[in-house]
A and B are shown apart, each in its own frame.
Chain A
Amino acid sequence: AQKVTQAQTEISVVEKEDVTLDCVYETRDTTYYLFWYKQPPSGELVFLIRRNSFDEQNEISGRYSWNFQKSTSSFNFTITASQVVDSAVYFCALSERETSGSRLTFGEGTQLTVNP
């Protein structure tokens, strides 16, 4: 069965520090998709990135970067030079194309607090 583990429940950093949020997944499918969502204090879930299982290239978008490693079943998210506005709950999610269609399996989330 599919599973997503975000072992870090809470992380607290000081502004301008770099921070990495870990995500480890389990799946039997060969075709799957990984996602990261951000939930700011306002409550909505904001889509950040989608990755498919055939594309292990790392991705960078501004201060955000993602490291996808199939060998360790990990899809980690790094924020460089963190800012107070990055404070939020971050969720990693998995979608298995073959066995469970398009529904998302989420991790429990990591609460990131960036202090000024």
Chain B
Amino acid sequence: EAGVTQFPSHSVIEKGQTVTLRCDPISGHDNLYWYRRVMGKEIKFLLHFVKESKQDESGMPNNRFLAERTGGTYSTLKVQPAELEDSGVYFCASSLDLAGVYEQYFGPGTRLTVT
């Protein structure tokens, strides 16, 4: 069974440019999460999808970040325009339904560098 995949693995962009990160969850996982780790700090929650709906987007830092999950499959996270403080590692995770509390399986992350 394929795990969570993320693309690209690395992205280097200039301040003011746009970047789109993609996440493909494990097949059959309705729940999809985005997290990021900035400057070696703790990993922080960004948002949570249940299928195609945003369940919780309380962690999104500002309106420069836009997440979508069309059709309830893969998800994209767009940063527009990127700022220096957006640099970090962006992780995607997926899990089964919420009837129980299931462990979240993480992808390898996308390392974003804004110069």
| Interface of A toward B, CB cutoff 8 Å | 4, 33, 35, 37, 42-47, 50, 52, 91, 93, 95, 97, 100-109
Contact = CB atoms under 8 A, between A and B. Distances in A.
Interface stretch (B11-19, B73-81, B98-106): B98-106
Interface residues of B, number: 28
A43 B59 CA distance: 22
Nearest to B48: A103
B106 A103 contact: no
Contact of A37 (B95, B98, B106): B106
B14 to A, nearest CB: 24
B1 interface: no
B109 A101 contact: no
B107 to A, nearest CB: 7
Contacts of A105: 45
A45 B91 contact: yes
B84 interface: no
Nearest to A108: B42
B87 interface: no
B65 interface: no
